[in-house]
Structure 1
Amino acid sequence: MARALLIDLDDTLYDEASYVRSGMAAVAREIAGLAGAPVPEVEALMLEELARNGRGKVFDVALERLGVAPQPDLIKGLVEAYRDHRPAIRLWPGVREALADLAQDHRLAIVTDGLGLMQRRKVEALGVEALVETVVYCWELGWPKPDPRPYLKAMEQLGGTPAETLVVGDNPGHDMAAAQAAGLRSLRVRTGRFAAETFPNLTADAEADSFVAAAPLIRRLETVS
């Protein structure tokens, strides 16, 4: 029986890459103002660097190519703009309906990892707080994933027990590892950047192609537990 669901946010309920693109667009507007360049040109330059080398030096590279010295205080301000921006993101199709359906006979919590400000912005933009009973922000507690304590805290808040609690997430290194450490069952969704990766030592009790596909599987798991 699994009546308490502890659900990851990034790459489980929506595409985290869309958040990154949204943040880059916000910063592109800042850089465009400094450099006197068109926003689309700046954004394209940043996304090109992101695709080539990852997030590490995107702001520095963009500024240098536009003739602006990447001073530490300037970079700090751009990082803050990225973190504090109001993201243009959406739940994957069908996720809202799947959460509403599961909430009819389950108690739901979101357990999310990352800087509290950023995660709260995401939760607000996606409107998921109204769809679950509680949201646990791991970093605000000082317990980053895969620390099992945020999951145990969420389970307690839902009034669940280990036998009736299921962790749902996309990242075995975070979600499945924490579930194992907490003595909880888990279901992996094959979405996001870890979708094709294998984690031989961090297997889940079940897998699904998406959160929407996981919803009926959750109920089938309960009938055989």
Structure 2
Amino acid sequence: MSSPTILVIGASRGIGLELVRQYRDAGCRVIATVRDEASRERVRDLGAQVHMIDVARPASVSGLAWLLDGEKIDIALYVAGVIRRPNALTPPTQEDFDAVMHTNVLGAMQVIPQVAPMVETAGGVFAFFSSSMSQIASVDDSECWIYRASKAALNMAVAAAQFDYPGATLITIDPGWVQTDMGGEGAPVTIEESASGIRSVLAALTPEDKGQLLHYDGRRAQHW
């Protein structure tokens, strides 16, 4: 039996890089996308096949299906994401808005029609990194409001897309507040813990999880 094929979109550093490491350690075949040459070398050294893709640039993303032509993907992860921190006391700049929405929402929506058929062929899982900050029912301030809006939009995009790919399981997943460049050194969850938890959640999905937001520790979002 062949090893599972894993696709990590956004593997340059942090959780994406750790997912490559853990899946490779588990004997999986890993394909990863990165944005620069230094990242390519890091990921290649882990034994993964690497492609250069910038999900914030539609022209770059458009070639992904061609690069993956003929693949059956057991697990795909859209890890790529950016954050901007202004709150609702100041209007968002177009630069900040475009940076967040292009990477967190548009990039994911462009990737779905290219990759989801390959996941569906394998009867696999396509997981997109969201955030507990996307949950409207539990919002308690306007911190990072562009980021919050982008992840709420991502949840909807993935839930809607699930209907077009019934043979695959599409979900969004909250990796937790993690000790990455985005989360900061004071975050309570290590990169290793987050990646390990995500892998466990993806391995235990049920049909009822399709289109849903899950958390890295196995909790299911009760109220969005």
Asked if TM exceeds 0.5, the reply is: no
TM-score range, shorter chain: 0.3 to 0.5
Q: TM-score, normalised by structure 1?
A: 0.43
Higher relative contact order (CA 8 A, sep 6+): 1
Greater gyration radius: 1
Structure with bigger helix share is: 1
Q: TM-score, normalised by structure 2?
A: 0.43
